[in-house]
Amino acid sequence: MKVCDLPYRRVTLEEVSAVMEDVIPRIKNAKSVEEILAAREDYLKMVLEFSTNASLASMRYTINTVDEFYVAENEYYDEIGPSVQNYNVAYSCALLDSPFRAELEKALSPVLFQSMEVERKAMSETIIEDMVTENKLVREYSDLMAGMEFEFRGEKLPRAMLMKYAKDPDRETRRECFEVLGRGLEAHKAELDDIFDRMVHVRDRMAKKMGYVNFVELGYYRMGRLCYDQEKVKTFRENVLHDIVPVVARLRTENAKRLGINDYKFYDDGVIMPGGDPKPRGKAEIFAAAKEMYHAMGEETGAFIDMMLENDAFDVDSRKNKWGGGYCTEFAKYKQPFILANFNGTAGDVDVVTHEAGHAFNAYLIADNRFALELGCGGMETAETHSMSMEFFAWPHMDKFFGDDAGRYKFMHALESFSFIPYGTMVDAFQHIVYENPDLTPDERDAEWLKLEKQFRPHISFEGMPYLEKGTRWQYQMHIYESPFYYIDYCLAQTAAFHFLLASRRDYADAFARYLRFSKQGGEKVWTDLLAEAGFPSPFTPGSLKALAGSVEALLEEIKV
């Protein structure tokens, strides 16, 4: 069925309550494991219905943020979501505290119960009202960003379309692009600062109501992390600073010289290749190439892309009032993934049918997994490993997208991906500072960002960039507002993806088989165990990124064009 034809209905809080008020007492009063498992089946039926329709409402809101019907539906789910989550935690607590827990863990999964323990630490009935407020603030930010237009050379453009000029080979055009971006953001400075300030304080208030010192600990629990904590992430950040930042700074500075640039500015960071970065063919050609590529990879990937194209499971056209980012979601009842993006004519358009399709392919693979509804694909670091690795497994097929520029794309892609790790780690460090110091003023937050820029991206200067030179680049990194502490997952996943890339260059078939096994297990194993099974080291051990940095640098030298 076409995604646009998938039936939608509002699943009300009353409907959820009726199920949960039946299921939870049945679990608590059960006389056997079998009675609990029967109650679980009724719970899962409700979860399937609720999650599918909530996802449909969210998707249809993001494709048109001024559609009155889906604005209202999305607002409804924002309103009731915390109460539904509270019911879910009550259900989890009933299982966790059951006298049959040991037998349940054998019948189900120890990882499932580990996940429930973390879920219990992330939720309290006392914070429901604050969670509703938080949801409204996220929507307020999303609406603000989606509605922004930037006047560039006589055109009014949404940010996604403006940013194609950030990769223009002409340096003056890039500079002008970022000047326009800075002025446009500055016009909304008061709103951007106010929304974020309210977000920080409501999150801090939630954490303190639950007995945490600040939001950092609660934020980690909300991310559902099962195999690493703040200390391990701190070690990872130190590994990045010590072993990746110097290599990236050297590589980017040397590469800038190839471009004739000796004074590396922020507006130079989007361009890698002399003469301009490679650009893909048009939208129709990209999808035709994606179909050919996935069929060449194997039967499972071929069946997957056929399903996605047949069901029109992509929305990639950039337009006003469309949500400005990109994502993959799924509608579990229909076993249907969906991808939203904003094509702008750059190489990033190809990443949509590799990165986002990596997420979608995983959803396709695990749709019938036993714990798909409860554990999904695992943590976000696992999810992003699926997507970022698929970007690299697509390398042998890049000629289908870029023709003779395939080699140039690979060099650009690898250097950009490697350069991302310091940036993404900086985002994580910034969020720790912000939530450990919730009373920082807007100017103080900007100053902290600038300090981190000097640490993690010492080769870049913001001098002369209106507004952005004040340390405000973080304000259009939507994850910082909408999904606190998510961004480090991309960095962790990027290290795993590079391991898959290096392995694929030694033996593609073996590496892809390992990738498929990694992906098919969904959330039934934690990320570090999946890494070990794939034969890769944990990035949380001190010094563990040094060898990887050396290997990636050697790869870049090998493929330089």
| pLDDT single digits (tens) 445-458 | 999 999 999 999 99
Strand partners, 151: 156
User: Tens of pLDDT along 145-199?
Assistant: 988 999 999 999 999 889 989 999 999 999 999 999 999 999 999 999 999 999 9
**pLDDT of 419 over the 90 cut:** yes
- Pick the closest to residue 181 from 155, 206, 156, 150 (CA basis): 150
pLDDT score of 344: 87
Only one residue has tokens 């986002």, namely 356
What is the rounded distance in angstroms from the CA atom of residue 288 to the CA atom of residue 309? 10
Give the strand pairing for 336-343 and 327-331: antiparallel
Residue 242: both structure tokens together: 């010590």
What does 497-511 look like in DSSP terms, one character per residue?
A: HHHHHHHHHH-HHHH
Q: Is the pLDDT of residue 275 over 90?
A: no
Q: Where are the beta strands (DSSP E) in 397-486?
A: none
3-state DSSP percent of the chain in helix, strand and coil, to 5: 70, 5, 25
Tell me: the pLDDT tens digits for 112-139?
999 999 999 999 999 999 999 999 999 9
Task: Compute, in degrees rounded to 10, the torsion defined by CA atoms 399, 402, 403, 409.
Answer: -70
Beta sheet of 336-343, edge-to-edge order: 314-317, 336-343, 327-331
Percent of the chain with pLDDT over 90: 94
Q: What is the pLDDT of residue 323?
A: 85
Per-residue pLDDT tens digits for 21-76: 999 999 999 999 999 999 999 999 999 999 999 999 999 999 999 999 999 999 99
Which residue in 495, 552, 464 sits closest to 250, CA to CA? 552
Q: pTM of the prediction? A: 0.94
CA distance 43 to 27: 11
Average pLDDT, the chain: 96
CA atoms of 455 and 27, how far apart (whole Å): 52
Q: Which of 137, 25, 29 is nearest to 87 (CA)?
A: 25
Paired tokens of 110: 């120890």
Nearest C-alpha neighbor of 169 from the set 273, 249, 305, 264: 273
Structure tokens given for 44: 């899962």
Domain segments of the chain as ranges: 3-132
Across 418-428, average pLDDT = 98
Span 281-285, average pLDDT: 92
| Plot region of 484 (φ>0 → left; ψ -120 to 50 → alpha; else → beta) | beta
pLDDT value, residue 369: 95
Maximum Cα–Cα distance across the chain: 76
**What confidence tens digit (pLDDT) does each residue in 374-393 have?**
999 999 999 999 999 999 99
